[in-house]
Structure 1
Amino acid sequence: MADFLFALLFVILLAPLFVIVALMLKIDSRGPVIFKQSRLGYKGDVFNVWKFRTMCDDAENQGTGLTTAENDPRITKIGSLLRKASLDELPQLFNILKGDMSFIGPRPAPAKHLKEYSHYEMQRLDILPGITGWSQVNGRNFLTWAERIPLDIWYMRNVSLKIDLLIILKTIKVLVLSEGVYSGRNDKEVQDANKKE
């Protein structure tokens, strides 16, 4: 209930910013304002996660697919700014209003990952995915997928108000410093990682 109320408050307060970002995206490049992708939710339910589009249209079927690097040519000018400020995640407030996500939890993985999950990895689906989470504030995209899983499961097993408050504080630091927006891997490493995921 708290997630819903806070998400609704933020949507109302940030409505002008939503409009400004949408206009900037339409002026900057062709394609839809909102990017949506099938992701894994609670207990493996599949839902569409929403983001402001930061790449050229149909980027998933070009270059390195789902994986991006800092100098990825598919990222638009406005998209680069949105990513650095993490403003591309704002539409996920509507995912929270729908009940698909929470503010805090494991980041929702692409739906294609489900068939590859081990019994251990399935545990990260025992809680709603979040906009930010324990792995997000402890490495974000610098972490490999295998490194994120134990952090997500640790959070799922140790959820508490104290930890959530710590995540919120660390999230503010990550956002202000634009930490971990990209993996830091070179193009070859990005391509290899994409093949594994």
Structure 2
Amino acid sequence: MAAAVKRLMDLTIGLALCVIALPIVALIAAAIKLDSPGPVFFRQARIGLHFEPFIMVKFRSLHHNMPDPHTHYEMQEDDPRITRVGALLRNSSLDELPQLCNVIAGSMSLVGPRPLVEWESRETLRRHAARFEVKPGITGLSQITVRNSVDLDARSDVDVEYVRRWSPLLDLEVLLRTPAYVFSRKAIYPDA
């Protein structure tokens, strides 16, 4: 029953946001194409519900085909791969907007733990397996509390707290608090 309620909320709110965001999506797509060569969207394998992989979609914020010089690396604000438009998208979290498609498709939820790449997911599995009992979210409890001000382990503690406390009201609270946290620009990047 809880899963059905959450899915209904995702579809209802997600579809409404898709319609509202359509003009913004078109403007962002045009800006990305004008700013640097490459695709508008960035697709990456992430780990979701029950540790199943899925393809997450974001607006591209890095120069296309510029190699990552690091094996295990959290993006820093001064990373030379970030494009001019990409910096604006990251600072406003608008790069996450295409994940509404993931929500409609059912691989993500509006609210939940942020989806991790495989190596991060494996690191969290031993102590924080509960974070994989729900779909990953565009926003979540850790996004409106600690974001990137703490390490992966501490963020995962908050993710597990979300899973244990989940209710429709908690999801609504997170959704309502997300814009203020995004506009505050707190902890967008981890401390260097």
**Is the TM-score greater than 0.5?**
yes
Q: Choose the corresponding residue for 1:63, options 66, 69, 72.
A: 69
Partner of 1:104: 111
Are the aligned partners of 1:47 and 1:100 in contact in 2 as well (CA < 8 Å)? Answer: yes
The percentage of aligned residue pairs carrying the same residue is 35
Aligned to 2:4: none
Q: 2:61 aligns with which of 33, 51, 54?
A: 54
Aligned position for 1:32: 39
Query: How many corresponding residue pairs?
Result: 184
The answer as to whether partners of 1:70 and 1:184 remain within 8 angstroms in 2 is no
Match of residue 184, structure 1, among 158, 177, 191: 191
Shift of 1:19: 1.1
TM-score normalised by structure 1 residue count: 0.87
User: What are the within-5 Å matches in structure 2 for residues 2-21 of structure 1?
Assistant: 2-21=9-28
Distance 2:189 2:121 in 1: 24
Paired residue secondary structure (1:47): strand
Aligned amino acid, residue 142 of structure 2: S
Return 5+ residue gaps in structure 1 as ranges: 186-197
Is 1:95 the equivalent of 2:102? Answer: yes
**Secondary structure class of the residue paired with 1:108:** coil
Match of 2:84 among 73, 77, 80: 77
Residues 1:136 and 2:138 aligned together:
no
Cα RMSD between the aligned structures? 1.6
Give 2:181's aligned residue. Answer: 174
Within the alignment, does 1:120 sit opposite 2:124 as a pair?
no
Shift of 1:117: 4.1
Structure 2 unmatched ranges of 5 or more = 1-7
Alpha-carbon distance between aligned partners in 2 of 1:58 and 1:20, rounded to the nearest angstrom: 23
| Distance across 1 between alignment mates of 2:102 and 2:77 | 27
Q: What TM-score, normalized to structure 2? A: 0.89
Give per-residue Cα distances to partners, 1:4-29, cap 9 Å, x unaligned.
12211211221111111111101100
